[in-house]
Amino acid sequence: MDQLNVLLAKGLTVAAAVVVALVVQHFALRLARRALEASDVPSASIFLNILRALIWSLAVLSILQPVFGMDPSGFVTALGVASVAISLGLQDTISNLISGLSLMAGKVIKPGDKISVGSVTGEVTDVTWRSTTVRHRSGDVEVIPNSVLNKTSLTHRTAWGMGLATVPIAVRPGANLDAVAAECRQAARDVLGADLDPAFDVEVVFNALTAYGTQGEVRLHVNEGVVFSREGPGSPAPSASSNGRHPGPARCRHQPRKDLPMDLIASFAVNHLLLEPGVYVSRQDADPSTGAVITTFDLRLTAPNREPVMDTAAVHALEHLGATFLRNDPEWSSRVVYFGPMGCRTGFYLVLFGKYESADVIDLVTRAFEFARDFEGEIPGARPAECGNWHDAALNAAPWWARRYLEQTLYKIDVAHMTYPEG
């Protein structure tokens, strides 16, 4: 009977602690939200999550002595020792937490800010203990680790800057550029209509002369709230707040592909709107005199035109790390011809002596990116005497891209992501 009374008393103590914690949490979070809204400190869930964790930690400490007979001070000491060991395995998590606090306390960003980070442009919707959420004009949501964001330069965008869209164009040699510009302006007005910001004109700028014609871009300003759809004019966008029209001069007849005086190369013929991250055989070439074959692999890290591209510093670092690993691999080093980035910054090319399929190199590619993910120290070949652009290579986002490729693609790759899509 005495034991039953003791258990009942302990149960009531735990229940009381939970109820008190819930009540305190309710009012504390309300007060915190009001204080954040009234202060200059940006409001984000990271502060509320820290407060919530503190309340429940105090609740646990309050029941240690009466329920479990443990000295709270001793528990805190033991927890401190354990936290040292835990922190060694949670370096990325801790780095994200500290970076998130730094971003918010320093008022670098706050929810509602419109920013550009690398190829990502959109509105900050939240900053959590681990990551920052940015919503694109397309309605897609990008989740960026705080540690990556804290080490990457960002640009705060104005309202009109968010509405700016540039569409590249190319014109065949000898064409009347004034007529092309007029046609593109009219096409943009026909496609977008009232979605164009009346405060700005549609600009057509020609900025380069190549062997295949004149290159330029159409500069468009659209009204706030218009979502850029990836599907083309008249297609519904992911967001319900927009008409989903695409700000591109889709009806401008002077398209580069039609005017090229040569056949389209094989890699350009792949439908990049369907292509997903994977490992693909891009081409196999044979020397007509010897019959020797080389295989070019497409190591695609991010979905073209639908996901952010890699920043140049990350690409450069991954190139140095990947090439170093591959040319030192005891099994494959003698067969490695080349490893380097794609110009679009969505992946890398791996060229090998021999005729191979994607399945043959999955283990090699996996080990190469595990090497990049886990690498610490000085990047091989990244000194001024060793590299032509040594300062644009950094181990900040490179491990993150390697980890993303491993976890989202290589560790669970299937046949569909080793074969180019049709269509």
Span of 102-106, 231-235, 369-373, 405-409 with lowest mean pLDDT:
231-235
pLDDT at 333: 92
pLDDT at 408: 93
Give the integer Cα–Cα distance in Å for 43 and 109: 10
Span of 39-48, 192-201, 273-282, 333-342 with lowest mean pLDDT:
39-48
Which residues sit opposite 389 in a β-bridge? none
pLDDT at 246: 38
Span of 147-151, 200-204, 389-393 with lowest mean pLDDT:
147-151
Sequence-separated (6 or more) residues with CB below 8 Å from residue 48: 29, 32, 33
Helix-, strand-, coil-residue percentages of the chain, each rounded to 5: 45, 20, 35
**Scanning the structure block, which residue is given the tokens 């439908």?**
271
What mean pLDDT is reported for the chain?
75
130 has a pLDDT exceeding 70? no
Span of 68-72, 73-77, 142-146, 273-277 with lowest mean pLDDT:
73-77
More confident residue, 104 or 316: 316
More confident residue, 391 or 407: 407
Sequence-separated (6 or more) residues with CB below 8 Å from residue 168: 215, 216, 217
407 has a pLDDT exceeding 90? yes
pLDDT at 197: 75
CA nearest neighbour of 351 among 322, 388, 375, 389:
322
Residue 175 pLDDT level (bands cut at 50, 70, 90) = confident
Residue 367 pLDDT level (bands cut at 50, 70, 90) = very high
Over residues 213-225, the pLDDT tens digits come to 788 888 877 776 6
Tell which phi-psi region holds residue 161, choosing left (phi > 0), alpha (psi between -120 and 50) or beta: alpha
pLDDT at 229: 47
205 has a pLDDT exceeding 80? yes
pLDDT at 364: 96
Is the C-alpha dihedral spanning 235, 238, 240, 242 positive or negative?
negative
Which pTM value belongs to this model? Answer: 0.43
Cα 130–chain centre separation: 14
